[in-house]
Amino acid sequence: MRGDASEFSLREGDLALKADWRGKLKLDKDGNGIAFVEDYLEIELQRDGERERLRVEKDGRGVEKTYWRDDEEQEPGKETAAHIDDLVMRFLRAGAFEADMRVEKILEAGGPDAVLTEIDELTSDYAIRRYSAALSKSGALTPVQVDALIEKLGRLEGDHDIAQALAAVAEHQEIGDAAMLTLLSVAGEIGGDYEKRRVLKAIATRPLAGDAAAEAVALLSTIDSNHDIRVSAEALLTYAEFNAAQTAQLIEAVAEEIDSDHDLRLILTKAAPQLGSAVVAGAWLATLDEIDSDYDKRVALEAAAAMAENDERLRERLREAAQTIDSDYDRERALKALK
């Protein structure tokens, strides 16, 4: 972008599309054409050895369109108009120009199914992500439509676009068990830790049960960064309402991946309210044993103390864990909390 000048380009196989314009552009009332240019818009398409070019310039209150095919200006007519419409639509779709406005117009004309059909026409990850996010935020979709949208996102390749699109669906739509499994399968194609965390934080606010909960933990286990896996686990423990077995599986999974005492302690602190379950207590104490830091072990035990007030067996197990603390100061503070 140069001042008020903008550029866009896309190459897909033998097709090359580029556009540049100066000043503001406005679409027509249907969102399918150019109704106003402050200065000019030029679009060029090359495919199969042929070259098309369109120049749109301001003409009074409207626009003037000139179309060339292989550098030969074409006479106005139905055929030329069809080529112009095709070039403009390719530009709008490829660059996701006014994507929110176009989704709104498509919804008005044909509802969510029409937007899903439009998404099938998009070729760039960026455009698919923008249209999908706009559709997700537009209002409640039917379960069938949510399923269809998530399946379409399986076409995406870029980590950023996959994560943003999936997160938008999770944050704005109700997702059934089968659709959640599809969403997690698509998320499994993400390589970046931060992007996986983005998806896990988004789905944590949705009901996760059975296979979906297991797949969420499996996705969590593929994160390498201590920080990202910890933040993801905290979100799941806070919002996902995992049952005891699922919480134990999560604790075991992060214990395998995290090598930071600080991050392990924060996860154990977050999981402490579920220590009333024997299966959670087993995983919790086993993970506590992996912590070398006297300080982090003591703080985790202090957080667990409240859950053991009326459970003598648990309190005794926590006292035994406190005895493994080397520092006299930290050990005594932990034992004091567990009296």
Mean pLDDT of the chain: 93
Q: What is the mean pLDDT of residues 6-11?
A: 89
Residue 85's nearest CA partner among 5, 77, 98, 107 is 77
Kindly indicate the confidence band of residue 204, based on its pLDDT and cuts at 50, 70 and 90.
very high
Max distance between CA atoms of the chain, in angstroms, equals 92
Question: Which DSSP string corresponds to 165-191?
Answer: HHHHHHHHS---HHHHHHHHHHHTT--
Kindly indicate the confidence band of residue 3, based on its pLDDT and cuts at 50, 70 and 90.
very low
Please say whether the beta carbons of 112 and 135 come within 8 A: yes
Percent above pLDDT 90 for the chain: 85
At residue 162's C-alpha, the angle toward residues 157 and 168, to 5°, is 160
Residue 4's nearest CA partner among 41, 33, 31 is 41
pLDDT of residue 2: 45
Q: What is the mean pLDDT of residues 224-247?
A: 92
| Integer Cα distance of 143 and 127 in angstroms | 23
pLDDT, tens digit (0-9, with 9 covering 90-100), for 277-303:
999 999 999 999 999 999 999 999 999
pLDDT of residue 278: 94
pLDDT of residue 205: 87
pLDDT of residue 119: 97
| Integer Cα distance of 260 and 91 in angstroms | 49
pLDDT, tens digit (0-9, with 9 covering 90-100), for 148-196:
999 999 999 999 999 999 999 999 999 998 999 999 999 999 999 999 9
Question: Which DSSP string corresponds to 113-152?
Answer: HHHHHHHHH--SHHHHHHHHHHHHHTSPPPHHHHHHHHHH
Point out the least confidently predicted range of 58-67, 193-202, 256-265: 58-67
pLDDT, tens digit (0-9, with 9 covering 90-100), for 76-87:
999 999 999 999
Q: What is the mean pLDDT of residues 107-130?
A: 95
pLDDT tops 60 at residue 250: yes
pTM (2 decimals)? 0.85
Kindly indicate the confidence band of residue 1, based on its pLDDT and cuts at 50, 70 and 90.
very low
Q: What is the mean pLDDT of residues 222-250?
A: 93
pLDDT tops 90 at residue 339: no
Q: What is the mean pLDDT of residues 261-275?
A: 95
**Half-sphere exposure of residue 53, counting CA atoms within 13 Å on the CB side?**
9
Q: How far is CA 305 from CA 226, 298, 310, 316, 322, in A?
A: 26, 11, 10, 11, 11
pLDDT of residue 181: 94
- CA 249 to chain centroid, in Å, comes to 24
pLDDT of residue 114: 97
